[in-house]
Amino acid sequence: MKRALCPLLIIVVIAVSSIDIASADDETYGDPTVTVVVPTTITPNMDIVVKVTINNTTGTRMWRTKVYLDTDSIPSSIRQYLVFYDTVDYPTQYLVSQGLKDAIEPDNEVNVNFRIKATGDIPAVTIPIYVVLESEIGICEDGCVPYRRALQYDIEVLRDEPYVFLEIDLEEVRLNVGECYIAKGNFNVGYTLTNTSQTTAFNVDLSVGDTQIPLSATITPQMPLTSIKPDNSKEGIVYMATGNLSPGTYTISLNLTFEDYYGKEFQTSESFNIIVVSDAYQLYEQGELYLLSCSYQNAISSFEEAKALYDEVGYQELSNKCYNKIELVNAIILFEQGQDYYFSGDLENAVAAYEAAKTHYDNADDCTGVSLCQDAINAIGQMDSTSPGDTEQTGGGGLTMLNMSLIIIIIVLVGMLVIVRMGKR
């Protein structure tokens, strides 16, 4: 009897083992394919539609499938700006009312949509959306393998308001170099800030961008501004002063930053060029060469053109130097006219020419020229007061030989000094 039971026991053990192995094989399934479509960016007051597609690629049935949004995992600081219209869906539960099984057959798919609204006051944040799939996979209706899968998708909130438009009143500033071929100048940049959006801009701040040149700036009104309301504008001026600049082009930017109510920062900028040229100084140097070569009218023209360029950029120091040169040349011209009048015997016009020359020397801050002209005027005055009967007459205007010699000596001395001074300037 014992021998008959042993083969039977072996058969039972083998049969049970076969059932276990088959069950283990049957429970080895693939994963379902889950496709989620969500927008990557939104703006306030916009709806978010989360589209979920589940394709049963497990190779068997998926029972009692549930798809939901895990709203508890969204930080409360963000969740307070979201309105959830629906968060849970059972895509095959309706089949039960039709007498069918609550299952997704192999290779079938179901679709689920969720709708979320972002409120108008949501800040510029990143919203994490968590989509969760729960199901049971297997042939049997009871006791199948539970399945859970969670997916995360991020949505960035873009706030495109407020917007403040920055406008400046120039494109370039031209500076002319002075001595040693360097330039410096002062100028103003007018600006206008306009809030072209429907929301208030806060903490509005205008600043000068980093530069590689010596530059100081003062902005009025003082920055930052607390706010600029919709459709409002604010005007102001940036006072700028440069240090020594070499010829070239330098780009200066004005940077504007502002924030929305929730602290989101926006920025924009405008730029202009500082152009340093040597045109005026080249004209000034050309005037010097004309002066040394006694080409007086050309010298005056060059100095006048240079002065006009320096006046245009507000370079007062060099403009004054050009003015002094113009007055000096006029003084020299009038002094030479005085000499011509004297040698022709026209002492009255000679004195008038010396007087006019003296005025121009004075305008040119040339005290030596002023003094020498006055000496010449005084000498002619002394000659006029000399009695004709006491001296030997000449044919050059009734002067004694002694007085005539004195005038000639003075005129020669003045001419020599003028030439020496011209050579030093």
> What's 266's domain CATH number?
2.60.40.2310
**311 close to 319: Cβ distance less than 8 angstroms:** yes
Q: Where do the H-state alpha helices sit in 253-400?
A: 279-292, 296-312, 316-343, 347-363, 367-384
In the chain, % of residues over pLDDT 90: 48
Domain assignment present for 196 = yes
- Identify the band that residue 376 occupies on the pLDDT scale cut at 50, 70 and 90: confident
Report which listed range, 13-17, 127-131, 415-419, is most confident.
127-131
One domain, residues 300 and 270: no
Domain assignment present for 126 = yes
Domain C-terminal end among 215, 249, 277: 277
The pTM score is 0.49
Q: Where do the H-state alpha helices sit in 67-147?
A: 76-79
Domain assignment present for 16 = no
Asked whether residue 317 carries a pLDDT value surpassing 90, the answer given is no
Task: Report, as an integer, the average pLDDT of 236-243.
Answer: 93
**128 close to 152: Cβ distance less than 8 angstroms:** yes
One domain, residues 254 and 311: no
Domain C-terminal end among 157, 180, 198: 157
33-37 and 82-84 beta bridge pairing: unpaired
One domain, residues 308 and 354: yes
One domain, residues 296 and 420: yes
Domain of residue 118 covers 27-157
One domain, residues 240 and 285: no
CA atoms within 13 A on the CB side of 371: 7
Domain assignment present for 354 = yes
pLDDT value of residue 407: 54
* Number of folded domains that form the chain: 3
102, 276, 71: which is closest to 173 by C-alpha? 276
Domain assignment present for 129 = yes
One domain, residues 286 and 407: yes
One domain, residues 110 and 220: no
Any idea which of 172-186, 222-236, 287-301 has the lowest mean pLDDT? Answer: 172-186
Asked whether residue 424 carries a pLDDT value surpassing 90, the answer given is no
One domain, residues 183 and 265: yes
Domain C-terminal end among 242, 277, 312: 277
Task: Report, as an integer, the average pLDDT of 68-83.
Answer: 95
pLDDT value of residue 111: 96
One domain, residues 404 and 338: yes
pLDDT value of residue 408: 52
pLDDT value of residue 380: 86
One domain, residues 67 and 119: yes
